[in-house]
Amino acid sequence: MTDAVSLRSLRDRPYELLSELVEQTVAPLAEYDHTKGTDLTLTLETYLEENASPTRAAAALHTHPQTVRYRLSRIEDITGLRMDTAEGRLRLLLGLRARRLLRQ
């Protein structure tokens, strides 16, 4: 798919594409949080807001950095996206933003 086609698709069917992005990225995480009573989505949001720093995320979440690292590992397992790659972090960030847009 070319960039022009992608942009045209986004313009023509934005909600469908945003929903698809959410389903491919953060929906499994939100479902896991819901069924297991965890806060992995919040951990992911905080980690990304803190420039991918487990130490700063831990401080913001009032937890230990090792706890954040463990949660990030669980997030990788659930989403299939790697936190140690820019592409994985970007896709998760876009998924979080798309989810937020769809809720408005």
For residues 101, 24, 78, 47, the Cα torsion angle rounded to the nearest 10 degrees is -40
pLDDT-derived band at 74, boundaries 50, 70, 90: very high
What's the pLDDT score for residue 6?
59
pLDDT-derived band at 4, boundaries 50, 70, 90: very low
pLDDT tens per residue, range 32-72: 999 999 999 999 999 999 999 999 999 999 999 999 999 99
Residue 72 sits in a domain of what CATH number?
1.10.10.2840
- Its pTM stands at 0.85
CA 103: distance to chain centroid?
Answer: 15
Domains held by the chain: number: 1
SS3 (DSSP) at 26: coil
Domain that residue 50 falls in: 3-103
Spatial distance between the Cα atoms of 47 and 61, rounded to a whole number of angstroms: 9
* Cβ within 8 Å of residue 24, ≥6 positions away: 91, 95
Average pLDDT on 79-88 reads 96
Spatial distance between the Cα atoms of 34 and 3, rounded to a whole number of angstroms: 35
